[in-house]
Structures are given as structure tokens and as C-alpha cells.
Amino acid sequence: MVILIDQYNLPDDIHKIIFATEQQQVVAKMLIKYMWNNGGEIGKTEMSVFATMLHEGKAILKEAGKSPLQPQVTISYNKRQFYDRILTPMKSMGMIDYDLYKKTYRISDKFNKLMIKIGLMWLREMDHGRRDAEKKG
């Protein structure tokens, strides 16, 4: 997955940086909230239930308010696209970790560690370029 960022116009929401569409951002936020509500870890069955609720349009985005002007809002998202465009990129970037033995998905800090590693790679590249320039000069 490619993340394009503008350091001068960095959004305040990580989901806006990672996902291309507003619907993907909303679904990713819903997934993280769902996982936090279940202790930060869910099994394959719970993930499938979440994806099926999205697919069938039964996932609640906003609860109904007390006023008739505040109806319940649901969201629909294709199950296959959920796995391909939301869950798989979040796993590959280290935001969600999958335990192969326990068959559970867990919110992970590997994304943060990956961003630090990328920053260190850039520092090494800068240092390498500086040393090459000094050798030529």
C-alpha cells in the first residue's frame, strides 16, 4: 500500500492518511472501535460477523437519537472489499496483527515501529549521501 503525505497539510486523523476514500476511513474506524470494545482482540468468527454486518448493511454507524430528526444511520460495505481494502492493508502495515495459532486479530503497535524504522532508513540515506559528497569534495 502506498501512503502519500504532505507534511504541511497533515490531517489530524490517521485514517485520512492511510485510506483513500471517506467510506474506507469510516469502516476502518468502525473496525478499530469494534476491536477495542472487545478488548483489542477478536477471533476469526467475530471478524467474519463484523464483515457480514457491513455487507448486509446492518452495521450501525450512528445510534438513533431521542428526536425523530436523529435517525439511526447504518453503513453498507462489500465483504470482499472489506478484507481486500481495509483488513489486509491494516495487517500488512502492522496496525492489526493476526495470531496464526490463536486465530485472533489484535490491535498492534507494529505500525508505529515501522514508521520509526522508515525514519531511521531515511537518516542512514542522508548520512550515506553526506559521506559520498565528502569523498568527492
Q: Is the dihedral of CA 61, 89, 78, 106 positive or negative?
A: negative
Q: Identify whether 116 is part of a domain.
A: no
Query: Residue type at 111?
Result: F
What is the per-residue pLDDT across 53-104, written as a single tens digit (0 to 9) for each?
A: 999 998 888 776 667 777 778 889 999 999 999 999 999 999 999 999 999 9
Identify the residue with better confidence: 3 or 105.
Answer: 105
Q: Identify whether 73 is part of a domain.
A: yes
Residue pair 104/115 in contact by the 8 Å Cβ criterion: no
Give me the domain span that covers residue 36: 14-109
Strands (E), 27-90: 41-43, 59-62, 73-75
What is the per-residue pLDDT across 27-43, written as a single tens digit (0 to 9) for each?
A: 999 999 999 999 999 99
Q: Identify whether 71 is part of a domain.
A: yes
Per-residue pLDDT, 137: 67
Per-residue pLDDT, 129: 87
- Number of domain units in the chain: 1
Phi and psi dihedrals of 132, rounded to 5? -65, -40
